[in-house]
Chain A
Amino acid sequence: MTSTDLPVRTSSASRAPRAARTAPARSRLRGNHHVLGDSRLGRVLALAVLAVLALVWLVPMLWAVLTAFKSEQDASDPDHWLWPRHGLTLKGFSTVWERGDLPLWMLNSFLIAAAVTVVTVLVSAMAGYAFSRTLFAGRRVLFALTVAAVLVPPQILIVPWFRQMLTLHLVDTYAAVILPQTVAPVMVFILKKHFDSLPRELEEAARIDGAGHWRIFWSVLLPLSRPMLAAVAIFVFIGAWNNFLWPFVSTSDPALMTLPVGITSVKDAYGIQYAQTMASAVLAALPLVVVFLFFQRQIVKSVATTGLGGQ
């Protein structure tokens, strides 16, 4: 690539101001002007469109927050629908929080998502290592099966999973919610590809020093793979935190419900109490949005690398 780059650079440098302005010397992270050009009007227009689009995307969330801070009476007042007549209040939040089920569902969601993440990442990384670095009878067939399983929609498994949990007497347990979610063929595939891409020199050195497979896996490859493991872990965690269908089918005991399931199960109980409903929605949304504010870069990277399923 450098060989084609060089002549272009020199010729653009010889062509004085216009070319110099378009040359992308600016930091890559801040994006660039290639897409829309660098006319002032173009940029102002682009900024305007972007601002309107972002506002449209933010309005639903802002509306939810505003409603959550209204009194019940103001929330259902069609004549003063925008700004509440009696000012803002925390009543909705305190009522919802004191009922006590929301913190419980958050805890359930966290425990379940954390368990799913730990098991999935560990088990998938070990399998990825096995498929990438070891030889055993049936390795190719088993890997082919794993890749093929990426095509199976989890939705078609809910009926047999439920039957299975009845057989195993696991209905309405954490195990029932967690176990089926830990099978992630796509993560095995991604991690196998990732291990394939790591140079073998380091482990050769460790092997000469007498390290076995477990030491090589645990002390050499895993530390080298932290960014990839983080990407996979973030992706799995978000998926498990937000998963709805299986936790919904496998739990009927409110004490075991996850956040997405629990919060909708009491929808009808609220009746027309929109301020309370929105207060619970805001509280339920908060954890992951706050995490995103702190770890934006890692989460963005996780989606970009894991989201394509290693394609």
Chain B
Amino acid sequence: MSSPHASPRSGAPSVRRLLPPGLLFALPFLVLFALFMVWPLVQGLWMSLTDTSLSAHTPGFVGLDNFTEAFQDAEMWRALGHTVWFTVLSTVPLVVVALGMALLVHTGLPGQWVWRLAFFAPYLLPVGVVSLLWIWLYQPDLGLFNHLLDVVGIGPVGWLSDESVAMWAVALTTLWWTVGFNFLLYLAALQAVPDHLYEAAAIDGAGAWRRLWSITLPQLSRITAVVTVLQVLASLKVFDQIYLLTKGGPNGSTRPVVEYVYDVGFTGYRLGYASAISYIFFALVLLASAAQYAALRRREK
């Protein structure tokens, strides 16, 4: 009993061999993981090979028909294009603006509490609130934005109703809503930049801009890479705010691929076909992850 190597617990050895304590500890997670991650992944793959439907008919095996159909489906390609376009449109400002905010707040200006609240609070709003609020801001006749544009003499903009504007409006809402998250990541990274670098630079007589370009930004390059990776993956998964702001409209011009999955599966009842598109989208996400992983690796060499 006194030896640290002796087993501290009693119990039938055969049971212990079948269920060692480690496995027991992992078991609750593994059960949930198997039920709600592994099984759905397998079932989704299986459904993508069938004509499973929400209506009551027995699903039959259709081979790769769903995938063949998907690759010829112009609407799916269009939706994938919207997802990628949104990712580009949202990622750039979500990284750049967050960096700018963090640099400004990190200067130690008075009112830290207010800045953090202003930039991060929107992130805490449920997407339902965000969309109701921005539908009101974008409202063509009564919304704040068109009132303000009117003051400076610019005619009303159809923020969510004009096909050439809607995706930009969605990206703008997303920037406002989620930039606070990246801002906090940058703020934490800034606090970790070692002081002695700046002290050395101060001795060399480096000015403020010089310090920004030669110390701060290079020191932030790793976190910038990480924030960008996380942002791209988050943006590729976009659904909520687009669905609530525009329902993918006008004329499907903002519909992302996740909404297409939803429309095909739950409005069109075609769960099999929706599963196939899910897997095509999954491939896109994996491709993006792999590409970014490779890029990160190359940078760090």
Chain A residues close to B by CB (< 8 Å):
1, 4-5, 8-9, 11-12, 15, 19, 22-24, 26, 28, 30-39, 42-43, 46-47, 49-50, 53-55, 57-61, 63-64, 67, 75-76, 78, 81-82, 109, 122-124, 126-127, 129-131, 133-139, 142, 145-146, 149, 151-153, 155-164, 179-180, 182-183, 185, 188, 204, 207-208, 210-213, 217, 238, 241-242, 244-245, 249, 259-264, 267, 274, 277-278, 280-281, 284-285, 288-289, 292-293, 296, 300, 303-304, 307-309, 311
Contacts and interface: CB of A to CB of B under 8 A. Distances in A.
B127 A244 contact: yes
A155 B45 CA distance: 14
Given A32-B106, A242-B126, A289-B121, A156 B281 contact: yes
A212 B109 contact: no
A249 B266 contact: yes
A17 to B, nearest CB: 12
B21 A212 contact: yes
Interface in B274-290: 274-275, 278-279, 281-282, 285-286, 289
B101 interface: yes
A65 to B, nearest CB: 10
Contacts of A32: 106-108, 195, 198
Interface string B203-236: 1000111011001100000000010001001001
A121 to B, nearest CB: 11
A122 B27 CA distance: 12
Given A127-B26, A161-B40, A303-B184, A64 B136 contact: yes
A206 to B, nearest CB: 9
Given A180-B36, A244-B240, A278-B132, A127 B124 contact: no
A149 B37 CA distance: 8
Contacts of B291: none
Given A155-B239, A179-B36, A285-B126, A264 B131 contact: yes
A207 B134 CA distance: 57
A37 B208 contact: yes
Nearest to B124: A288
A292 B285 contact: no
26 contacts: A12-B202, A23-B202, A33-B108, A35-B190, A37-B207, A53-B118, A60-B144, A67-B136, A123-B29, A127-B25, A136-B21, A149-B37, A151-B286, A152-B41, A157-B37, A164-B40, A210-B8, A242-B124, A249-B262, A260-B129, A262-B128, A277-B136, A292-B117, A308-B226, A308-B230, A309-B230
A153 B282 contact: yes
Contact of A284 (B128, B142, B194, B266): B128
B191 A28 contact: yes
A288 B123 CA distance: 10
Interface string B1-24: 110100011000000000011111
Chain B CB count within 10 A is highest, among A35, A245, A260, for A35
A160 B184 contact: no
Contact of B126 (A75, A284, A309): A284
Please give me the 6 A-B residue pairs with the lowest Cβ-Cβ distance, nearest first: A37-B208, A134-B22, A31-B108, A127-B29, A160-B40, A304-B188
B159 interface: no
Nearest to B271: A159
A123 to B, nearest CB: 5
Contacts of B110: 47
A42 B147 contact: no
A23 B201 CA distance: 11
Nearest to A160: B40
